[in-house]
Amino acid sequence: MTTVIRSCRALAGLALGVLSAPAGLAFLLLAGPFTLLPRARPRVLAGAVRLADAEVLRLRLLGEQEVSGYDGRRALRYLAWRWPVGVLGALVLFLLVAGVGSAVLIAWHWLRGEPFDGMAASPPLALYLLVAGSVLLFLEVMGLAGLAGLERRTARKLLGPSPTELLERRVAQLAETRAGVVAAVDQERRRIERDLHDGVQQRLVALAVLIGRARRGRSPELLDDLLHQAHDQARQALADLRDVAWRVYPTALDSLGLRDAVATVAERAGLPVTVHYGLDERPAPQVETAAYFVVCEAVANAAKHGAAGSVTVEIVREGTMIVVCVRDDGRGGADPAGGGLSGLARRVAALDGRFRVDSPPGGPTAVVAELPCG
């Protein structure tokens, strides 16, 4: 249904473009020469901007279109390049109307038992027209799609952001990304400090207390019990320290690669995790690290906060992007602005990637990261 509505909107946009092309051409012919007059030039350029604004509204029917920052001169240039596209659109739509009209007339005459243009209805002729009509309809649809693409490309080239504006956007994006990376690193540092202080340090203190009590103990039974407790504390402290080191950087990424590192995350998750790994080659180290942390954080959230029963991890390559998708069947409601997910978003953005979280209340939750790899 959505495809039908979108197609109807695009068809309406192309039809309106047939009507706006003569208007743009008439404006160029009547008002264009006045741009040579300094006093009349501002009014002409303002009129061109108004016509371009109307074109932008029409182009929205063809889909999202990035246009911004155009002035009168660029609007005038767009009108000059756009009217031939409108003429081409008129021809394509005329062929569509002519074809549909002919098919309706043929069907109307043959259903009434009358010949059409001297052709009586017969199965071979009907089959021939059906095949030929299907081919022509396919070519017409391709022509309409190409025409819509030409409209969008013309608008993007002539009304889209200028190279200077694109450069300014890129600088702003890099500044934002840098600030995000600094914030993410600072957040990760605080988390490591908290883990060391609340986990490892407390266990080492308990270990020291147990050893001290053991040295002062007089009973062999008490000494044996204290040494046993001290041994347990030492093992737990080592486990905590290993977990902290693993969160800082998993050494398995260097030695085994992303596939085995993700498999290790699945084994340690505490719930069923299915991994679909579809990469033929190892990604770049920074991409591999970001993909790993996306999987690690998403799986941990599903287990700790999402009340999920199972998780599916999919890592595939789509064109020049590596897509990491983690889905769980939990209760949803994950907050993308939360500490862990926002840190992942900043980490992915630092690589010029895209990150999104789809987690409606009631679930399921999908965490998707697209990382450039080429």
What is the pairing mode between strands 311-318 and 321-328? antiparallel
- Please check whether residue 264 is in contact with residue 272, taking contact to mean a CB–CB distance below 8 angstroms: no
pTM score: 0.58
Tokens 């737990």 — which residue? Answer: 236
What pLDDT sits at residue 344?
A: 83
Q: Is the peptide bond before 364 cis (omega within 30 degrees of 0)?
A: yes
* CA pair distance 338, 343, nearest whole angstrom: 8
* CA pair distance 272, 303, nearest whole angstrom: 10
The tens place of each residue's pLDDT in the chain, 374 residues long, gives: 577 888 888 888 898 988 888 888 999 889 888 888 888 888 888 988 899 888 888 888 887 667 777 888 888 889 999 889 999 999 999 999 999 998 999 888 888 888 887 778 888 888 988 899 899 999 989 999 999 999 888 888 888 887 788 888 888 888 887 777 777 777 778 888 888 888 888 888 888 888 888 888 777 778 888 888 888 888 888 888 877 777 777 777 777 788 888 888 888 888 899 999 998 888 888 888 889 889 988 888 888 888 888 899 999 998 889 999 999 988 888 888 777 788 788 888 888 888 999 988 887 899 999 998 76
In 10 A of CB 134, how many CB atoms? 10
- Please check whether residue 279 is in contact with residue 315, taking contact to mean a CB–CB distance below 8 angstroms: yes
- Please check whether residue 278 is in contact with residue 240, taking contact to mean a CB–CB distance below 8 angstroms: no
- Please check whether residue 353 is in contact with residue 371, taking contact to mean a CB–CB distance below 8 angstroms: yes
What pLDDT sits at residue 338?
A: 76
What pLDDT sits at residue 32?
A: 83
* CA pair distance 138, 89, nearest whole angstrom: 16
The angle, 0 to 180 degrees and rounded to 10, between the axes of the packed helices 41-59 and 72-111 is 40
- Please check whether residue 27 is in contact with residue 47, taking contact to mean a CB–CB distance below 8 angstroms: yes
Which are the contacts of 18, defined by CB distance < 8 A and separation ≥ 6? 86, 89, 90, 93
Residue 134 CB-half CA count within 13 A = 5
What pLDDT sits at residue 194?
A: 84
What pLDDT sits at residue 275?
A: 92
- Please check whether residue 368 is in contact with residue 355, taking contact to mean a CB–CB distance below 8 angstroms: yes
Which are the contacts of 208, defined by CB distance < 8 A and separation ≥ 6? none
What pLDDT sits at residue 5?
A: 84
343: closest CA among 307, 300, 313?
300
What pLDDT sits at residue 374?
A: 64
What pLDDT sits at residue 6?
A: 83
- Please check whether residue 210 is in contact with residue 226, taking contact to mean a CB–CB distance below 8 angstroms: yes
- Please check whether residue 288 is in contact with residue 363, taking contact to mean a CB–CB distance below 8 angstroms: no
The structure tokens listed for 71 are 């002035």
